[in-house]
């Protein structure tokens, strides 16, 4: 699979952005007292002179959704698996989106499941998967769903991250 730049009109981009919006809305509905923001908007408000390229780089490092809780900033990267067997994982995102306060949230075509996983563990696990090309790795869906550190659903994510 060769490298292709982000195309907002592709089926994959449309499905991924829809999933990202669903995660965002579900977080806001489930925890109405927390101010969730799209990471892009968060940085644009703080630094209005940032270019779209600057914001895209920040999003690669800090995911799609952010929020503050008890003085700590948290980040969630939304990934949507279009296939039935494997999902594409951007190598740049895998390398840069890492930290104790960063979690992936995977969604799946044909399912309402949301699987959350810590970025540090996901990076280590996916390092064992051979690169498909310079831009990505193809991750088996069974690995996403079966990761011991993964949590199914927003409430399970919240329990483990925030000890609630």
Residue 66 is given by DSSP the state E
Is the separation of the CB atoms in 47 and 74 below 8 Å? no
In a domain, 1, yes or no: no
Is the separation of the CB atoms in 86 and 79 below 8 Å? no
- Residue 86 structural domain: 11-162
Read off the CATH number of the domain in which 85 is found: 3.40.1350.10
d(CA 12, CA 32): 30
Q: What integer pLDDT is reported at residue 7 of this predicted model?
A: 72
Number of domains forming the structure of the chain: 1
58-67: burial string, b at 16+ Cβ within 10 Å, e else: bbbbbbbbbb
In tens digits, the chain (164 residues) has pLDDT values of 334 456 778 898 899 999 999 999 999 999 999 999 999 999 999 999 999 899 988 999 999 999 999 999 999 999 999 989 999 998 989 999 999 999 999 999 999 999 999 999 999 999 999 999 888 999 999 999 999 999 999 999 999 999 98
Q: What integer pLDDT is reported at residue 2 of this predicted model?
A: 38
In a domain, 3, yes or no: no
d(CA 32, CA 36): 9
In a domain, 136, yes or no: yes
Q: What integer pLDDT is reported at residue 6 of this predicted model?
A: 63
Cα torsion for 53, 56, 61, 62, to the nearest 10°? Answer: 130
């Amino acid at each position: 699979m060769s490298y292709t730049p982000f195309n907002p009109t592709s089926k994959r981009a449309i499905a991924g952005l829809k999933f990202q919006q669903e995660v965002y809305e579900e977080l806001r509905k489930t925890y109405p007292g927390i101010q969730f923001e799209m990471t892009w908007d968060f940085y644009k408000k703080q630094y209005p002179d940032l270019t779209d390229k600057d914001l895209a780089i920040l999003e690669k490092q800090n995911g799609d959704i952010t929020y503050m809780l008890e003085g700590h900033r948290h980040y969630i990267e939304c990934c949507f698996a279009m296939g039935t067997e494997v999902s594409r994982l951007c190598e740049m995102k895998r390398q840069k989106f890492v930290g104790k306060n960063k979690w992936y949230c995977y969604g799946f075509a044909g399912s309402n499941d949301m699987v959350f996983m810590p970025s540090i563990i996901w990076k280590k696990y996916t390092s064992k998967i051979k690169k498909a090309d310079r831009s990505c790795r193809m991750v088996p869906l069974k690995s996403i769903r079966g990761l011991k550190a993964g949590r199914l659903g927003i409430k399970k994510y919240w329990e483990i991250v925030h000890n609630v």
